[in-house]
Amino acid sequence: MKKLYPSLLLITIGIWSSIPLQAQKKEKPNPLKNEVIQSVDSRFEALTDLSDKIWSFEEIAFQETQSAAALSDYAESLGFKVTRGVGEIPTAFVAEYGSGSPVIGILGEFDALPGLSQNKVPYKSPLHEDAPGHGCGHNLFGVASLGAAAAIKDLIEEGKIKGTVRFYGTPAEEKFFGKLWMIRAGLFEDVDVVMDWHPAAETKAAVQKGLALVDFQVEFRGQAAHAAADPWNGRSASDALELYTTGINYYREHIKPTVRIHYHIQDAGQVVNVVPDYSRIWVRVRDSSREGLMPVYEQVMKMAEGAAIMANVDYEVNLISGIHEVLVNRTGSAALQKNLETLGSISYTEEEQEFAKKIQEATGKPQIGLVSEIEPMEETAEHSMGGSTDVGDVSYVVPTIRLSATTAPNGTPWHSWAVVAAGGMSIGHKGMAYAAKALSMTMVDLFQNPELVEAVKADFKEHLGDYVYKGMVPPGPPPIKSNLQ
């Protein structure tokens, strides 16, 4: 028999003695998480069909009649109690199952964007010319969230967890921010934690704040006259509008790099031979925080008065709505991150990667295909850039945990035909199913672990501080039918 050298013996003993310690550190598999994964898989065909229907409906803000009906009817067929037309919005609804605490909510959007209709091909090809399309992937958004809620509903129904799961059908995220009116109606007052996700070109816990914004409309009213025969009798509303946009553009030099100002000229006169007596412009101001946003908003409103004085016309400023940046909850995000690491990345076929590379080629991006590796959770930047969402306002009312899941190729221009194309085929469908699994797994954690719920709430209270939330919407009902459309 050969002798072991002392060093080799120590190494051997060290290896064997470390095995029990590693086993103790490893988290035990959670059978309920396996069940929600299986639940999503069992409904994959139905969820895909529902997503494709919403993709084909192509409905914009506050007009999502078919999309809201498809989602709410499906929820009802699964046994959810559905309340439609909440928050004075015909296309908003709540679907609930269970009773008592905790109450865990999940958000679902389903509105499209104007002018982005697209076939399911990797090059620009409108399905219906000038029609809307899901250039932000919201056909996947609402369906995945409802799929996650359904998986949790199954566990409550079987008596394996206790509490209430609540799906929020939230319309008009792209234009009017429907969640603002749902918050105003008190629909989130009894919720412990809200889950949220968004289609993306990568998969990760979403821990960036995005941008706060405010939308307002300026109308100028003057005096019409013949543009050649007697222009001196006219007071041009169009002149005021041009002076206003010139002022905004000169102002850009003197604002912080985090600020964004956009505008859309909605009416600047109808014909060339009339001095126009009416003009209208939609203005949007953004910044990385509500605090930084407000001084810019106030200055740009003052500039409307200056333009009106110079053109000798009357003016009126009307608030449309405004939203907060996201109040990030890193405690909840850490719980989500663990589930992402358990699930791992989405796998794709060669055909799907080729489809993605053709989209990247068509949009002038590096042809690297789809990326869905799970990276470590990011640090939250002090000044996050990117887009804006009314989920920000929800996050100031109730603790909110957010996810991004891959539904389009890396580098894809968002709000474009490319996102519509990927969201209508298997790339989008896989991201939808993945999101439903990750969200429902994290909801299992919340239902099973009251300490986690309290920790998420404590994180929320700490970062909210003494800030008192106030929604930025004008009095009266939401603008379902107005010249804003």
pLDDT at 84: 98
Q: How far is CA 465 from the centre of its chain?
A: 25
The residue written with tokens 């080799």 in the block is: 8
Q: What is the pLDDT of residue 2?
A: 36
Residue 395, phi then psi, degrees to nearest 5: -70, -15
Query: What pLDDT is stored for residue 77 in this prediction?
Result: 98
CB 71 within 8 A of CB 142: yes
In contact, 35 and 155? CB cutoff 8 Å: yes
Residue 384: what pLDDT? Answer: 85
| Cα maximum dimension of the chain | 117
The beta-carbon contacts of 126-133 under 8 Å, at least 24 apart in sequence, are 126/417, 127/58, 128/58, 131/58, 132/58, 132/59, 132/60, 133/58, 133/417, 133/420
Tokens of 283: 């203005």
Q: Which residues contact 193 (CB under 8 A, 6 or more apart)?
A: 102, 104, 105, 332, 398, 399, 400, 401, 446, 453, 456, 457
Determine the topology of domain 212-321 in CATH.
Answer: Alpha-Beta Plaits (3.30.70)
Domain with CATH 3.40.630.10 in the chain: 31-209+325-464
Residues β-bridged to residue 225: 275
> pLDDT, tens digit, for every residue of 76-107?
999 999 999 999 999 999 999 999 999 999 99
Residue 386 has what pLDDT?
A: 85
Q: What is the CA radius of gyration of the chain?
A: 26
pLDDT at 1: 36
Residue type, 155: L
Q: Which two tokens stand for residue 225?
A: 């006259």
Q: Which residue in 300, 310, 326 sits closest to 216, CA to CA?
A: 300
User: For position 214, what pLDDT does the model report?
Assistant: 97
pTM: 0.91
Give the SS3 label for residue 180: helix
CA angle 42, 43, 44 (to 5 degrees): 95
Q: State whether the Cα torsion 161-162-168-169 is positive or negative.
A: positive
CA 235 to chain centre: 43
Q: Classify residue 412 by its DSSP letter.
A: P
If we measure between CA atoms, which residue out of 353, 344, 446 comes closest to residue 400? 446
Task: Count Cα atoms within 13 angstroms, Cβ side, for 57.
Answer: 25
Cα–Cα distance measured from residue 3 to residue 163, given in angstroms and rounded to the nearest whole number? 62
- What stretches in the chain show pLDDT beneath 70? 1-27, 482-485
Q: Where do you find CATH 3.30.70.360 in the chain?
A: 212-321
pLDDT for the residue 308: 98
Superfamily of domain 31-209+325-464: Zn peptidases (3.40.630.10)
